[in-house]
Homo-oligomer: A and B are copies of this chain.
């Protein structure tokens, strides 16, 4: 893994493998063939073998994959064996929805602090975390060893706030603001642009109709 560049396409499929394996594990399934996995995931069996070969290949010909082992190995590759401390910046509707997602915590992503510029929200509790003013972010990030920030604020302020977060020591931003951030190359940014997703849906719907 040290020397090999793993393609973006493979990486983008890993979370899906992880999700399926997680479901199989929860149902007590111990082994699965690439063929079975392929049927569930609607990806070809050879694609699955190729993808998993990127990571040394965990399967044995004729025996299939050990679900628990594969689950754990992919989890490690995804960095899910590590805990991460997060802050949430922006406690509007979307921010509150994200803060309430218990599942993230199960995967090791722990929201430690919630910040908003709206004074009416300060002191309000979400899952036992009190919403704090923005000027407390800096001390908080340092004190609690925060490496990830969820950015759920309007796009008008997002670029500027992101720059500050990086100065405070944040190394990764999960960006829900509908704008491209301007941060140094070594800061990880994962964008969730909901409007773009809705436009893809719209395109596919319009095109489906054309094909009729």
Contacts and interface: CB of A to CB of B under 8 A. Distances in A.
Contacts of A198: 104, 107, 109, 174, 190
Give how many copies assemble into the complex.
2
Contacts of A205: 79, 84, 147-148, 171-172, 188
Interface residues of A, number: 55
Interface string A133-151: 0000000000000011000
A133 to B, nearest CB: 22
A11 B2 CA distance: 33
A126 to B, nearest CB: 9
A162 B180 CA distance: 33
Interface in A95-137: 96-98, 100-101, 103-104, 107, 109
A167 interface: no
Interface string A164-206: 0000000110100010100000101010111111111111111
B190 A197 contact: yes
A93 B103 contact: no
Interface of A: 2, 11-12, 14-16, 18-19, 42, 77-80, 82, 84, 92-94, 96-98, 100-101, 103-104, 107, 109, 147-148, 171-172, 174, 178, 180, 186, 188, 190, 192-208, 210
Query: 4 closest pairs, A vs B, by CB?
Result: A79-B206, A93-B97, A15-B196, A190-B201
